[in-house]
Structure 1
Amino acid sequence: LFSMDGDIADLRFLVAMKQRFNNVYLYVDEAHAIGVRGNHGYGIAEEQGVLADIDFLVGTFGKALASMGAYVACTKVIRDYLINTMRPLIFSTTLPPVTIAWSYFIFKQLPLFGKEREHLEIISKLLRDAIAAKGVAMPSESNIIPYIIGENKACIDFALQLQKLGVYALPVRPPTVPVGTSRIRFSLSAAIAKEDIEAILSGL
């Protein structure tokens, strides 16, 4: 799940490509998908049925899981290799035990948040469809929804206009995105109600 356009990689295709070769490993970053996609909240790899085929499945505890830190799911051989060779890991201070306990607890709860994920998809589709209906390009398939404006100043002015309406919207400009694609980036959560989406739409 890509962070600026909200589009989704075809992991089945990537897995099929990987399986054609003996010396290829597949690394997938689920930072924006963990917790919000898949029947159990395990991300796009779960949603597309390829969890077992990913060699390095990376995610964060700092977004949907409301914690700190990150993880990589891999084989024990790779795990042992990383633990013994990764300088950033070896020379980093460990996370506080309470943070680790919270991450472990909330990760186990992810399968229980099915209704929240369903609600998130409903409000995300509502906003995506409304923006697309205005003739604005809509690459998103997720809760990360760009309103692509194009020119930098127009994007900044539009963000300020939304903020005056009580919508916390920030402009995203080059080099974060390609030149000519400055946009407002909406990142929705399940805590947002349909009424909140309607308030956003009133300012578009």
Structure 2
Amino acid sequence: MVRGKTQMRRIENETSRQVTFSKRRSGLLKKAFELSVLCDAEVGVVVFSSRGKLSEFSSSSMQRSIERYKSYAKEKNLKHRGAEDNIQLQLCKQEAASVAKEIQLLETSKRKLLGESLETCSTDELQGLEVQLERSLTNIRLWKKHMLTEQIAQLKAREKMLLEENAALDRQWKEECLQHSAVSEEAAHDDRTSQHTEVETDLHIGLLGRGRTQCLLQA
């Protein structure tokens, strides 16, 4: 009778799972032993059950196999890191070369725009430079016009603000003049009132003196 293919999934029945674990663990350890004997290989197998029980096999010494594995893994990581660093270095060199090439092209284009090194330029290239310069000149003039417009607007706004401040100061000055004039008129009125009182007092005193004279004559 042909046995069916076992599905690779967790066995739900705990008893069946434990029986399968014991059988396959024994088979795994047996295969590891056979591999170490037949091929003269250093083999180490560590198995933990679901309950935490340890099963192990080592053809020599488990500790020695673990140390050897750690050394190999460290060396492998160093090689892998070295390979990554080398790849990164190559990418950096390529990028640096590309940037240097772009800088050189920009310097050449700059010199041509300044009217230098034009001997190697073709007619089409010179025409292209001329169009580029005209376009640049147009953009410069437009930007200059924009900046001048903004400056004019700012100056007009400042002029308006100064006119408003001047008008406010003028109103304040007129109000102060009116207040000063009112105070002056009030002071002048007080002076006239005081002088009138002094005149009346002098006349009263004069009458008293005249009466005294008459009394003396009669005596």
For this structure pair, what is the TM-score category when the shorter chain's length is used for normalisation?
Answer: under 0.3
The higher relative CO (CA closer than 8 Å, separation ≥ 6) is in 1
**Structure 2-normalised TM-score?**
0.18
Q: Which has the higher helix share?
A: 2
Larger Rg computed on CA atoms: 2
